[in-house]
Every structure is written in C-alpha cells, then in structure tokens.
Amino acid sequence: MTEHHTLNPDDLRVFSGNSNPELAADIAKCLGVPLEPTTIRRFTNDNLYVQLSASVRSRSVFIVQSLTPPVDSHLMELLMMLDIARSAAAKQVTAVIPYYSYARSDKKDAPRISITARLIADLLQTAGATHVMTMMLHSPQVHGFFSVPTDPLSSRGVFKQYFKQQDLEGTVIVTPDIGSAKSAARFARDLGGLPVAAGNKERLSDTEVKISGLIGYQVRGCSRAIVYDDEIATGGSMLELARILVREGVQDIQLVCTHGLFTHNALERLGAVPEIKAIVTTDTVYHPPAARHEKLVVVPVGHVFGEAIRRNYLGESLSDLFVFAKEEGDK
C-alpha cells in the first residue's frame, strides 16, 4: 500500500449496497467523504443491474455491505460492485462486511456439505476484493479462510463504553457456550475483571438448543448478569440462559450481541421476559428506528470502521481494534 501522511478525500470512494446504507453513510461521515451513489435495480428477468455512479479509477474504493437477509441478493450485489470497481481500474478495493453471516458455516460437520465461509471468501477475492474488513466473526478460524488481507474488527470497545456508565457491582458475564468463553473473558477484563460463566450448550437444530447448566463461576448470589455473544438469531440460546439465570436468582439480565438478526420474532419473545431489562446490539444489522422494541439498544460502530479505514490508508497499526487485541498488562 502506498504510504500517505494525511487522508486525501479525493482518493477515497465509499459505496453501499442495499443492506445497510445508514451504516455506510456513518462510515463515510467519519472519513469526511460523501457516500457515493449506487444504482441497483432488477431487470424483468430478475437479473440485477448495478452501477457505481462515481469514477473509481486509481482510487481506494470501500464497498460497505452486510450479508443480512435477503443474504443471496446482498451477496450478489457485493460481488458485482467489487467486480465493477476492479474493472474500472480502482487502485485497491476493500469489501467492508460488517456482518459476515456465512461465518457460521465454518466446518464440515456432515457429509456432502459446503464449508461456505471459505467459499464466500474465495468468491470475494475472485470478484476483485484486495482487502476485507469485518466485525466479530462467528469463529476465529474463519479469518484463515481469506487469501487477501482481512481485518477482524472488535465491537468490545463500544460495549465497554456503554456498560462503563453503569454500576456493575454484583455482575457476572455469561456466555451461551464454552466456545465463546475466551471472547467473554476478554470482555469481562474490559469491564474491570468481572467473573465469567459459560452455558453447557447442545445445539439440537438450527432453531433449537439445550443448555443443561452453567460452567465456571457460580452465579447464585449475583444480582445482575450480562449475557454476551457474537450474534442473536432466533434467540433460543438467550431464552434458555435467561431461564437458568432466573432459576439461580438473577433478576437483572442484559443481553449483548454484535449482530442482532432477531429472526422468528426473537425480539418480542426475549422482550417478554421480565428479568431481561435490555437487549444491546450494534448497527452491523440495520433495524428501522420505528420498528425497534422498547428494550432494544443499538450502539453505533461506524466510527470503528471509519478509524480502521483511516489507519489502513495511512499505513498505521490496527491491532488494538482487532477481536484478539490484548489489554495492557495481558500476557
């Protein structure tokens, strides 16, 4: 990458697909550049038509697109936009994917299935991406599926800022399964060394889970619990955990996730639990303000992506923005 001393607005182009133009606009605002127009429509045969409405020749291009429902349409938009930028002689093309949904398809755990997280990573490179930015991948190994430089950004900083404003006396951090324990432990350290417990979870199907109990810190006697995960889809894990926590005497539960999909009326079902006081997520997945549940809190992450883009452009380190970033004093 060419070294720069200052960010040149004329050298940057930020575009957005249809998945989350509000977040894309926030990122562009943080960079001090406009969100350039993109024309997206469908022909009568259902084929997509995409056109970038500003010159990208010899410029650094950033295309913002979350892989949210309808995932296939949003993915195709992204691939076409990457191809357009490459074909129009962009200097570099960065796919900014706040929510990389296929990260959950990260292993071959049944015969004759695709490791789709790797497939999509290959498609992004083939389409023209020279760099990828994303946030809180479902599992660390997905990072290794990419053959182009990839920045796995963390949302812990914005959650730390949000919860530091609260009284955390008697609070325990709880994660739905052992696999997320390391991430939860980092978050617990961010909040001053809170104790951590993990659910003993068994996934029965895409929509059904069973949590038989908690492992680690004994939550009985804790007045509050912050349930921390990367994603909430149907909310099944969160409902199971809430049931166990209430049984253990916890009366104040806050749910925290980077990616709030909230499918199958998850928000309504979670919000109906009296002990769940708040459901905190980021804007990697767009939620129209008028349709938000009263318990839903959305914290913005556009400035995180904006800062990462700025540092990349200037050739500066991003290590403190990564998922695996260590706090001062960690070994």
Catalytic residue list contains 201 = yes
Q: What angle, 0 to 180 degrees and rounded to 10, lies between the N-to-C axes of helices 21-31 and 302-314?
A: 50
Residues 65/78, Cβ–Cβ less than 8 Å: yes
Residue that has been written with the tokens 């490179």 in this structure:
125
* Candidate list 91, 201, 295, 331, residue with the active-site label: 201
Sheet holding 131-135, edge to edge: 12-16, 60-64, 92-97, 131-135, 150-153
Angstrom distance (rounded) from CA 171 to CA 120: 39
Residues 53/14, Cβ–Cβ less than 8 Å: no
Residues 280/246, Cβ–Cβ less than 8 Å: no
Q: Which value, to the nearest 10 degrees, does the dihedral of the CA atoms of residues 76, 304, 241, 275 take?
A: -120
- Listed in sequence order, the DSSP H helices in the chain are 21-31, 71-87, 116-127, 156-163, 181-190, 236-247, 266-271, 302-314
**CB under 8 Å to 34, separation ≥6 — which residues?**
14, 28
Backbone dihedral angles phi then psi of residue 200, each to the nearest 5 degrees:
-90, 85
- How, if at all, do strands 171-175 and 150-153 pair? unpaired
Cis peptide before 9 (omega within 30 of 0): no
The full DSSP string for 79-96 is: HHHHHHHHHTT-SEEEEE
Looking at residue 143, its amino acid is H
Classify 329 in phi/psi space as left (phi over 0), alpha (psi -120 to 50) or beta: left
Angstrom distance (rounded) from CA 285 to CA 125: 23
Q: Which residues are catalytic?
A: 201
